[in-house]
Chains A and B, each alone.
Chain A
Amino acid sequence: MTFKKSLLAVAALGAVLAMPLSAQAHRGWLLPSFTNLSGDSAWVTFDAAVSNELFHPDHVAMRTDGVQVLAPDGAIDKIQNASTGKYRSTFDVQLSKPGTYKIFTAGGSVMASYTENGEVKRFRGSAEDFAKQVPAGAADLKVIKSANRNETFVTRDKPTTESLKPTGKGLELVPVTHPTDVIATEPATFKFVIDGKPAADLEVTFAPGGHRWRASPGEIKVKTGPDGAVKFTLPEAGMYWVNASVRSGANARGGPPGAPQQGAVQALPGNGENASYTAVIEAQRP
């Protein structure tokens, strides 16, 4: 037990020491070969990875089984030729329709605690399972929801916005400037919504690719206004990693789903919500 405690202390210390780095560590991305294409035989190939440096696959491949495609008309399309290597996955999307495609992963989970027959119970799983497994009106119910989204956009011919409609779940980007129409050195605006409502005072990070050849990461951080809008100007052409996250209310670290609980089951300290958003966009040459 003492040994375990000291291990924990070391781990905690390690976490503290790692803090300044953690902001730029393990970033997931879906990187398209082109964001603007013309002609009816257009295909785009993608790299998908989780890395420290942008956009160099230096950590682990992103799995492709959760990658979804929304066609310009809002129909569900598919990735093709998927392959996963040690450090990155690749796949293709055929742009058979004109307009903007959204390629994304989206997930969420629910953590909850409640009391049943005087005993504290914990739940961790999907929103669907939560609705099924946790009794409605459970006593002392506390819920921490989390949602994450990672996406990119490619446009064949003229940009469209049907596939970019927010789902109302988690943190999402709403185009003011179309995400495939961002031009280096020209001002652009995105809007962010959390559960469909403006995400005010949200810090949004724009991190340029090509990190390996720069002395500093060159990140740009901008905050959204009360309407959730963020105005930004990307200085140079290239691919950028866009990220924002919100954390509100209580926060509790839970074990992986299905892991046996050790010791007494603890109730969550309160309700809370975590949401993160990531996108890869191109700043085109003027």
Chain B
Amino acid sequence: MKRSISLLTFAGAAVGAAPALAADLNVTVEIPRMTVAEYHKPYVAIWIEGADASAAGTLAVWYDADNREDKGAKWLKDMRQWWRKAGREMSFPVDGVSGATRAPGPQKLVFAGSKGALKALKPGQYNLVVEAAREVGGHEAVRVPFVWGKAGKPASAKGATELGAVTVSVK
């Protein structure tokens, strides 16, 4: 514990002029339960979109990374907004980003401000985008605005078909 505190302090000092961002991004994504003949858990990309609609970082990609044929990469293009803006620039799998698909129900996620895409994220206004594509199913992207750089109230938005409620808070 003592060790991690001193590491954090050190990280804060190294950033220098940038404001201390001890905050984490708390995200809840609801994967809706569906009664369909052929159900596959959706492929999901969770990413950050800047004010100019460009991608400012990828937090998580849930896909079939254990697939024998090509490690599931075939399906990455189906999260097409993310794929065009960020995914196709990346080389998969990505440590801390790649993950398995998730079952229906609320999925609680915490993205540490000290790691990955959030570590380099400048304070400002963003959208958290949750983009889902389901085999033999549909495609949907849900955007939830958040301000990075200070703690804020949770915000949420709801998908219509492929995603349920998405809630984001900076804590």
A interface residues with partner B (beta carbon < 8 Å): 36-42, 157-159, 181, 183, 284-286
**Which listed segment binds A: B1-9, B67-75, B108-116, B119-127?**
B67-75
**Please, which residue of chain B has its CB at the minimum distance from the CB of A158?**
B88
User: Is B84 at the interface (CB under 8 A from chain A)?
Assistant: yes
> Do residues B74 and A42 form an inter-chain contact, with CB atoms below 8 A?
yes
> What are 13 A-B pairs at a CB distance below 8 A?
A36-B77, A36-B83, A38-B73, A38-B88, A39-B73, A39-B76, A40-B70, A41-B69, A41-B74, A42-B74, A157-B88, A159-B88, A284-B84
User: Is B80 at the interface (CB under 8 A from chain A)?
Assistant: yes
> Do residues B83 and A158 form an inter-chain contact, with CB atoms below 8 A?
no
User: Is B89 at the interface (CB under 8 A from chain A)?
Assistant: yes
B interface residues with partner A (beta carbon < 8 Å): 69-77, 80-81, 83-84, 87-89, 139
Q: How far is the CA of A38 from the CA of B45 in the complex (A)?
A: 15
Residues of B within 8 A of A38 (CB): 73-77, 83, 87-88
Q: How far is the CA of A37 from the CA of B78 in the complex (A)?
A: 9
Q: How far is the CA of A158 from the CA of B74 in the complex (A)?
A: 14
> Do residues A158 and B89 form an inter-chain contact, with CB atoms below 8 A?
yes
Q: How far is the CA of A159 from the CA of B89 in the complex (A)?
A: 10
Q: How far is the CA of A183 from the CA of B139 in the complex (A)?
A: 16
> Do residues B73 and A40 form an inter-chain contact, with CB atoms below 8 A?
yes
Q: How far is the CA of A88 from the CA of B140 in the complex (A)?
A: 35
Please provide the 5 A-B residue pairs with the shortest distance between their CB atoms, ordered closest to farther: A39-B73, A41-B70, A38-B77, A39-B70, A38-B76
Residues of A within 8 A of B71 (CB): 39
Q: How far is the CA of A42 from the CA of B71 in the complex (A)?
A: 12
**Please, which residue of chain A has its CB at the minimum distance from the CB of B87?**
A38
Known pairs A41-B73, A284-B80 / 20 extra A-B pairs, C-beta < 8 Å: A36-B77, A36-B80, A36-B83, A37-B77, A38-B75, A38-B76, A38-B77, A38-B87, A38-B88, A39-B71, A39-B72, A40-B70, A40-B73, A41-B69, A41-B74, A42-B70, A157-B88, A158-B88, A158-B89, A159-B88
Residues of B within 8 A of A41 (CB): 69-70, 73-74
The distance from the CB of B11 to the nearest CB of chain A, in whole angstroms, is: 32
The distance from the CB of A100 to the nearest CB of chain B, in whole angstroms, is: 11
Q: How far is the CA of A157 from the CA of B76 in the complex (A)?
A: 10
**Please, which residue of chain B has its CB at the minimum distance from the CB of A155?**
B88
Q: How far is the CA of A58 from the CA of B73 in the complex (A)?
A: 36
The distance from the CB of B60 to the nearest CB of chain A, in whole angstroms, is: 17
Q: How far is the CA of A37 from the CA of B83 in the complex (A)?
A: 10
> Do residues A181 and B84 form an inter-chain contact, with CB atoms below 8 A?
yes
Residues of B within 8 A of A39 (CB): 70-74, 76
Q: How far is the CA of A42 from the CA of B89 in the complex (A)?
A: 17
Q: How far is the CA of A123 from the CA of B83 in the complex (A)?
A: 53
The distance from the CB of B61 to the nearest CB of chain A, in whole angstroms, is: 11
Residues of B within 8 A of A37 (CB): 74, 77
The distance from the CB of B64 to the nearest CB of chain A, in whole angstroms, is: 11
Q: How far is the CA of A36 from the CA of B79 in the complex (A)?
A: 12
The distance from the CB of B45 to the nearest CB of chain A, in whole angstroms, is: 12
The distance from the CB of B16 to the nearest CB of chain A, in whole angstroms, is: 33
Residues of A within 8 A of B87 (CB): 38
The distance from the CB of A234 to the nearest CB of chain B, in whole angstroms, is: 16
**Please, which residue of chain A has its CB at the minimum distance from the CB of B89?**
A158
The distance from the CB of A209 to the nearest CB of chain B, in whole angstroms, is: 19
The distance from the CB of A27 to the nearest CB of chain B, in whole angstroms, is: 28
Interface-centre pick from A39, A40, A41, A42 (highest chain B CB count, 10 A): A39
Q: How far is the CA of A39 from the CA of B64 in the complex (A)?
A: 12
Q: How far is the CA of A286 from the CA of B139 in the complex (A)?
A: 11
The distance from the CB of A37 to the nearest CB of chain B, in whole angstroms, is: 6
The distance from the CB of A94 to the nearest CB of chain B, in whole angstroms, is: 12
The distance from the CB of B17 to the nearest CB of chain A, in whole angstroms, is: 33
Q: How far is the CA of A284 from the CA of B87 in the complex (A)?
A: 16
Residues of A within 8 A of B84 (CB): 181, 183, 284
**Please, which residue of chain B has its CB at the minimum distance from the CB of A40?**
B70
**Please, which residue of chain A has its CB at the minimum distance from the CB of B81?**
A286
